Homo-oligomer: A and B are copies of this chain.
Amino acid sequence: MGPMGRTPPHPDVSQVDLQQVLEALVDPVRRSIVTQLDAAGRDLACGTFDIAVSKSTATHHFKVLREAGLIRQYYVGTSRMNALRRAEMDEAFPGLLDALTVRRVARL
């Protein structure tokens, strides 16, 4: 197979609808992933997130986020990096991530 064998498919933001984005963000674990990415301000490997689920479950959550157009994934060695597609999401769904990324009060 070619060198792109491990690069997963990413949807164009225009192919994603609000329903799919909301279904992705309604899960607390996934919303936490997005929040951590946003707070970090840089790409993060799957294993570096603070989430209380098994690895296989984490894989599932990252997949849902990727298919909803919220993150972009790419490999660096054995690590899978995750990038928040902030600008694209902001353009497609203005204000949504702003309203959901908990810049909110001290604690939720």
Contact = CB atoms under 8 A, between A and B. Distances in A.
Interface of A: 17-19, 22-23, 25-26, 28, 31, 93-96, 98-100, 102, 104, 108
Given A18-B104, A22-B22, 13 more contacts: A17-B108, A18-B100, A18-B102, A18-B108, A22-B25, A22-B26, A22-B100, A23-B26, A26-B26, A93-B99, A94-B99, A95-B98, A96-B99
Contacts of A31: 22
Q: Most B CB atoms within 10 A — which of A17, A23, A98, A102? A: A98
A22 B31 CA distance: 11
The 8 closest A-B pairs by CB, nearest first: A95-B99, A96-B99, A26-B26, A95-B95, A22-B26, A99-B99, A95-B98, A23-B26
